[in-house]
Amino acid sequence: MRAAVVQLLATSDVAAAQAVADRLVRRAAGAGARVVLLPEKWLVCGRDADVAAGAQPLDGPAVTWARRIAVELGIDLFAGSVAITRADGRQQNTALHAAPDGRLAVYGKLHLFDADVAGRRYRESDREIAGDGLVVSALADDAATGVGMTVCYDLRFPELHRALAVRGARIITVPAAFTERTTAAHWEVLLRARAIENGAFVLAANQHGEHAPGIRSGGRSMIVDPWGTVLAEAPDVDEAVVVADLDLGRVDEVREGLPVLRQRRADVAAALAAEESGDLAAAWPVAAPDEAVRSGEGR
């Protein structure tokens, strides 16, 4: 199965971004890709006001285009994410999977980017609402291969990716607009870790360049195999279409050799899931030093 990740630069110019996405998706399909991934907010990215102005309803032009081109080209198009205006008027960063039969799967970004990076404050929760569930979508191949859908900052939460793998994901998609600084420092490490931990292919499409003054993404879109090997990678600048062939039998091979999913302690996972949000470490009892020593006697 051939897959492609698309790297591009979105600004406040929605029409220009739409044209670039259409051209690059067609290039990917022309290279033989049956699965194509666009970046996060490929339609408009930059200042909060720009993103808000470019938000669309779920039946708007961006989603309509994604479904139409997926059918036309006969591909599974993971159309990155777009800012969707919900029926209640609130916005949600929503990942899209348009299948070649016209089917649409959607995933609302679970983890909102409220962080301070390189002197700039990001507060996605000021304008967007988080999603409320996991999504494992199915490809149109004979095996109905499971694909776990995530968005950008979700990458830093390994428990999400483990849950997707347990629910059948053999491929994980990561559309992103990772900041220039965090791309350089963390991007590859996190992508390879998520692939290794779950024995899954990871498709990661990042934006590149300056979206608005002082707001930059770092590129380096890549495809990683279940062993953590980078199969293909884009540069840190310029638009790109990165292609690799995915041997899905490799997922079974890696998971059989390192059976972490089978050996996973469901009781421990359930206990962790039951903890309240916040500082998880503070919720666990810690033995006094002398008790710790005594508990280890005879080992």
Is the distance from CB of 172 to CB of 147 less than 8 angstroms?
Answer: yes
Count of Cβ atoms closer than 10 Å to residue 247 Cβ: 13
Tell me how far apart the terminal alpha carbons of the chain are, to the nearest angstrom. Answer: 50
In the three-class reduction of DSSP (H, G, I as helix; E, B as strand; rest coil), residue 116 is classed as strand
User: Which of 40, 124, 128, 180 is the catalytic position?
Assistant: 40
Both structure tokens of 159? 């428990």
Distance CA 196, CA 228 (A): 5
Element counts in the chain: helices (H) and strands (E): 10, 16
What is the H or E stretch that residue 85 is in? strand 76-85
Both structure tokens of 107? 């995933």
Known catalytic residue at 109: yes
Is the distance from CB of 135 to CB of 150 less than 8 angstroms?
Answer: no
Known catalytic residue at 40: yes
Alpha helices in 167-265 (DSSP H): 180-182, 188-198, 249-257, 260-263
* 3-state SS record for 150-184: CCHHHHHCHHHHHHHHHCCEEEEEEEECCEHHHHH
User: Which of 41, 128, 152, 239 is the catalytic position?
Assistant: 152
User: Which of 41, 45, 109, 180 is the catalytic position?
Assistant: 109
- Which residues are known to be catalytic? 40, 109, 152
